[in-house]
Structure 1
Amino acid sequence: MKKMITGVVMAAAFLTACNGNKATHDASGTFEVDEVIVSSELTGKLLSFDITEGDSIPKGKVIGTIDAENLSLQKDQVQASIEALKEKTADLTPQVKLLQDQLTVQQSQLDNLLREKKRIENLLKQDAATGKQLDDMNAQIDVVQKQMTVTQQQINVQRSNVGTQNRSILSEGKPLEKRVAQLEDQLKRAAVANPVGGTVITKYAEAGEMTSVGKALYKIADLSTMTLRAYITGSQLSQVKLNQPVKVLIDNGANAYREYPGVITWIADKAEFTPKTIQTKEERANLVYAVKIKVKNDGFIKIGMYGEVKL
């Protein structure tokens, strides 16, 4: 509402000056800038906050720290829980080794029996052994082979059971690892990093104060380029276009002006208002349109300063 009233006053003054044939410019307005309010991303005490209004700060610079000791302790606790899970897992090696040793003994028995079978077969060819001896030997070999099969199955079952048990325990670690990642992300937010390069306009907090998520800490803006929000009449609308170069004037003493090159970057697509101070029928028909003009700032242009435009 305040911007609209200001626009009405400026546009009325501009049109009145035109009516008196004393205008030295085609449009006028005030300078503004895109401001960024930097807020806290964490709740806690501001351990440090080393900025003052007017400071020029580059993008990414850490200018403050929020106490995050509680988060650090939470992270340590979760990491300890992850380590404790490893202690709960079963060690497969002793149980399986016992069965594997048993299997090794059985394999040795089988090898001996196979050699004895070979010897009996040779004796049988020479009629020095009986068929019953060979049958008995085959029966013993069959028993040992079955025992080996059972032992191998026991090894497989043991590995499966322990593996399932361990996977169940270790699966609890995945959510804990995600929790650690969340806490690490929050700990990074304890450092207040400047999001955009610019000049500190307003400081809202001091070191030692408590802050919370979303609480404003300071306001910053890039003052190297200013935006002049000016107003033109409907009859002038056909004379302007985007990226059109124009001349921007600001006061430089009582009767002098400082001149800057500017570029039109935005044109309103509809009239904002019709000034009520215009009395003649012709001037009441004039609609006022807002335009934005980017101007490089050499330090003399200030936010809210009055500016004039020559098309």
Structure 2
Amino acid sequence: MKLFIGLMLAVLASACNNGDQLSDAYGNFEAVDYTISSENSGKIMALHLKEGDVFQKTSLVGYIDTTQLYLKKEQLKAQRKSIAAGIQNIISRIDVYKEQLVLLQKDKQRIDKMFADKAVSIKEVDDINGNIQVVEKQIKSVQTENAKVLGSIESLDKQVESINDLIEKSKIMVPKAATVLEKYKEPFEMVNTGTPLFKLADLRSLDLRVYISGDQLPSVRIGQKVKVIIDKNAEENESLEGTIIWISSQSEFTPKIIQTKQERVKLVYALKVRVVNDGRLKIGMPGEIRF
């Protein structure tokens, strides 16, 4: 009897050391990766990164040739300067017409008074009113001309803004803390807008995607802390803490890579467990969880 109990304890200890009998779900680690693409067309003049590089913050890593954009911008600035020089002449003409209008209005007041005293004829009244109307039309005409010039300047300003935007988009940026997973282009290669340049992912934490059965579903919730088990070596495991961040709302058949053929026909639910990565975790690495 004692021998039997001893054998049972040895089997249980072996199962506990193996860890497989205690795990509630199995899966692989994954990361949210994204591709940085060119936002402008041209030749890559610099691209200072390689696969495996780790960036801790937003960083400028290269740029696309902007020579033609710069020359176009300078041309537009010269056109604007030339057009703007004519505005002062237009303003001076308007000032002259306005001074003429003030004098004519004074004359009108005097002629209207004289007409009331029957000292002038109706023709003189009509003449002064006609002169005032002519000057007012001249002012409006010059103001219209000025508006066209201002419109041309505004159009040039918008074109310069557009070029500045393209120059800014010619910079190649790592937008936030991330690790370079893949690099697709090298300096001096030609690219078009939308050409993929490199792939990034934030590996400071990884998600372990696992699958649980329907009867396990009521026991899990978003934000729940779970124990994550990874391989230390061929015989030992290591444990980390993880947090459930997502639970699928739909069931699916167990992925082929997870279980035996008999298990694959079962319906399961996917969930993701986020784990802080101290460098031990890698994309695609297998893992287990225990509730």
TM over 0.5: yes
AA partner of residue 41 (structure 2):
T
Aligned to 2:24: 26
Q: CA RMSD in A?
A: 3.5
Match of 2:170 among 190, 201, 222: 190
AA partner of residue 83 (structure 1):
K
State the distance in 2 between where 1:140 and 1:155 align: 23
Q: 1:300 to 1:63 in 2, by over 3 A?
A: same
State the Cα distance separating 1:285 from its structure 2 match: 7.7
Match of 2:245 among 262, 265, 271: 265
Aligned to 1:57: 55
Match of 2:34 among 33, 36, 39: 36
State the Cα distance separating 1:204 from its structure 2 match: 1.2
State the Cα distance separating 1:52 from its structure 2 match: 1.6
Aligned to 1:130: none
Contact 1:65 1:192 in 2 (8 A): yes
Map 1:113-192 to 2 at 5 A: 139=119, 151-192=131-172
- 2:215 aligned with 1:217: no
State the Cα distance separating 1:80 from its structure 2 match: 2.6
State the distance in 2 between where 1:269 and 1:96 align: 74
State the distance in 1 between where 2:105 and 2:236 align: 110
State the distance in 2 between where 1:286 and 1:181 align: 59
Aligned to 2:90: 91
Match of 1:69 among 67, 70, 76: 67
Aligned to 2:211: 231
The CA deviation string for residues 10-60 of structure 1, in whole angstroms up to 9 with x for no partner, is xxxxxxx9xxx9623111110000001111101111111111222111342
State the Cα distance separating 1:211 from its structure 2 match: 1.7
Determine which structure has more spread, i.e. the larger CA radius of gyration.
Answer: 1
State the distance in 2 between where 1:244 and 1:173 align: 61
Gaps of 5+ in 2: 1-14
AA partner of residue 32 (structure 2):
D
Aligned to 1:308: 288
State the distance in 2 between where 1:105 and 1:239 align: 93
The CA deviation string for residues 164-214 of structure 1, in whole angstroms up to 9 with x for no partner, is 222233323333322222111111101112122111111111122212211
Report the 3-state secondary structure (helix = DSSP H, G, I; strand = E; otherwise coil) of the residue aligned with 2:175. Answer: coil
AA partner of residue 196 (structure 2):
A
Contact 2:56 2:176 in 1 (8 A): yes
State the Cα distance separating 1:241 from its structure 2 match: 1.6
Contact 1:42 1:213 in 2 (8 A): yes
TM normalised by structure 2 equals: 0.77
Bigger mean CA deviation after superposition, 146-155 or 30-39: 146-155
State the Cα distance separating 1:284 from its structure 2 match: 8.1
State the distance in 2 between where 1:175 and 1:165 align: 15
Aligned length: 268
